[in-house]
Structure 1
Amino acid sequence: MSRRRLPIVWAVLGATVLAQIAYPLTEGAARAHLTVLTVLLGYLLSVGHALLTRGPRVAAALVAVTTGGGLTVEALGVATGVPFGGYDYSGDLGPMLLGVPLIIPLAWTWMAWPAWLAALRLARGAPARIGLAGLGLATWDVFLDPQMVSAGYWSWHEPTPALPGVPGIPVGNYLGWLVVALAMMALLSLTGGPATPAGDADLPMYGLYLWTYASSVLAHAVFFDLPASAAWGALAMAPVALTLAVTLARARRSAPA
């Protein structure tokens, strides 16, 4: 990526962060609209970064695997209950296709890309990277689902057994996420996922992943009155998020002045 394009990516990241900061300050229809805007910004950020840093082939693979795959698995889930358990969307998140709001597949892409790049930075070899990236994406859902269920955007038919303190979401949903996330990362690796980090050009995506982790812990604990999901999410995402933070900090300290 040319250095003159990097500020564009940082600017979109900044807009995404601002939209997320505004989320707790809204309610009702305004909050739903802001949720849609945030996902759109996040999608633009991840796909745009993939395009600018790795080219159209990788960006197309990312969209095909995570956006197309996200729609496929969500439609299957709504229709059959596999692999997340039986659930339905409320319709508050805008137009739907096959029972799925159109922004939902975009959300898979939004977080799949930074999870993949984090694994690329932390692990060597395709199997380790696929496993770490799948874990990095799937554990985000420990924050996502409690927040969205609390907001009334979707609900499960049979929400038990659930994590202690996190009612409304069956434990099997998180296992389903892990299976799907691992499959997506395996396909991304086979169809065009990059094999090497892109240096400073990947910093915005690392920032997105670490911001998602830290801000989700804070938001759930302080603003959403969801202390249990704050704790569970903090534990679940920690293996990838904290390892990434430590790795980046060490690299910064060892960099020549």
Structure 2
Amino acid sequence: MSVSRVTPWTLLGLLILAQICYPLTSGDTRAAFTVATVVLGYVLSVSHAFLTRGPRAALALVGTATLGGFAVEALGVATGFPFGTYDYSGQLGPKLLGVPLIIPLAWTWMAWPAWLAAQRLPLARWARVAVAAFGLAAWDIFLDPQMVAEGYWRWVSPTPALPGLPGIPISNYLGWLGFALILMTTLDHLVRRIIPPAGPSVAPDGDVPIIVLWIWTYASSVLAHAVFLGLPASAVWGGVLMGAAVLPLLPHLRHRS
């Protein structure tokens, strides 16, 4: 079995194991599993882009999501735009310009499955970009309540907020959506320039680990928030909104990206 098949599945298995351990721990151990999950997800997405679409695709992902994610987070911490005024605690490891270094890795981890999953939908190109951006932004409805509850970051002015989700302003989700649209538009343009529609295609099952990651992230987040983390409101909000991007994918799983 080739490295391009074994590596993504191995990383995905380790990531799922780390996520299962998360609600079973607390304190510094839970923070360590948070960091481990993000690092595993980052390596999974970047290595998959490299192994299936080449080094230039991996560089496009890193450039748009990692560097772009760091830039927008640094801007947000310094100015309050586009997410609102917030700051990070020291629990997530070393910082640069006030941003924990794992934060842009998280943008990258989920940007790749959001984009790949949208490619399987029978929609116009612009609509697939919009679905990918919306799905990525909707994931934050799980992420922010969970991380704020753990004290990993806090908002200075957390109002107005979505009903049942105190502590996070609506401006945060709007900022996520705005940046996600820029990120996905740029990523889509770069990857299509690297691999034009008439160019070599990916093996039919080559993207399956990343599609599984996308579906697992959605389903496990709903379950964890509803049952293990005591966050039923984010389970409902995230279940509905991220579900709008994830669930339409299910009938098209047999189609190649």
- TM-score normalized by structure 1? 0.93
Contact 1:24-1:223 at 8 Å conserved across structures: yes
**1:146-165 correspondence runs (5 A):** 146-165=145-164
**1:25-40 correspondence runs (5 A):** 25-40=24-39
Match of 1:202 among 192, 196, 207: 207
Contact 1:123-1:132 at 8 Å conserved across structures: no
1:168 aligns with 2:173: no
Q: Counterpart of 2:47 in 1: which secondary structure?
A: helix
Q: Which moved more, 1:68-77 or 1:125-134?
A: 125-134
Whole-angstrom distance in 1 between the partners of 2:75 and 2:122: 32
**1:197-236 correspondence runs (5 A):** 198=202, 199-236=204-241
Gaps of 5+ in 2: none
Q: Counterpart of 1:122 in 2: which secondary structure?
A: coil
Q: Which moved more, 1:186-195 or 1:208-217?
A: 186-195
Deviations 1:182-222 (CA, angstroms, capped at 9, x unpaired): 00011112222556673210011110000000000000001
Contact 2:4-2:48 at 8 Å conserved across structures: no
Q: Counterpart of 1:192 in 2: which secondary structure?
A: helix
Match of 2:252 among 226, 247, 251: 247
The one-letter code sitting in structure 1 at the alignment partner of 2:242 is M
Residue in 1 that maps onto 2:142: 143
Deviations 1:54-92 (CA, angstroms, capped at 9, x unpaired): 000000000010000000000000000000000000110
User: Aligned pair in 2 of structure 1 residues 177, 16: CA closer, same or farther (>3 Å)?
Assistant: same
Deviations 1:224-244 (CA, angstroms, capped at 9, x unpaired): 100000000000111221111
Displacement of 1:165 after TM fit? Answer: 0.7
Displacement of 1:181 after TM fit? Answer: 0.3
The one-letter code sitting in structure 2 at the alignment partner of 1:67 is T
Displacement of 1:4 after TM fit? Answer: 4.9
Displacement of 1:5 after TM fit? Answer: 2.6
The one-letter code sitting in structure 2 at the alignment partner of 1:103 is I
**1:15-164 correspondence runs (5 A):** 15-164=14-163
User: Aligned pair in 2 of structure 1 residues 3, 245: CA closer, same or farther (>3 Å)?
Assistant: farther
Whole-angstrom distance in 1 between the partners of 2:130 and 2:65: 16
Residue in 2 that maps onto 1:255: none
Displacement of 1:125 after TM fit? Answer: 3.7
- TM-score normalized by structure 2? 0.93
Whole-angstrom distance in 2 between the partners of 1:54 and 1:216: 29
Superposed CA RMSD: 1.5
Deviations 1:1-29 (CA, angstroms, capped at 9, x unpaired): x8553122111101000000000011111
Percent identity over the alignment?
61
Q: Which moved more, 1:28-37 or 1:124-133?
A: 124-133
Gaps of 5+ in 1: 253-257
Residue in 2 that maps onto 1:237: 242
The one-letter code sitting in structure 2 at the alignment partner of 1:45 is L
Contact 1:50-1:58 at 8 Å conserved across structures: yes
Contact 1:46-1:109 at 8 Å conserved across structures: yes
Deviations 1:148-183 (CA, angstroms, capped at 9, x unpaired): 000100010000111111100001110110000000
Whole-angstrom distance in 1 between the partners of 2:47 and 2:182: 23
Whole-angstrom distance in 1 between the partners of 2:70 and 2:214: 22
Contact 1:116-1:133 at 8 Å conserved across structures: yes
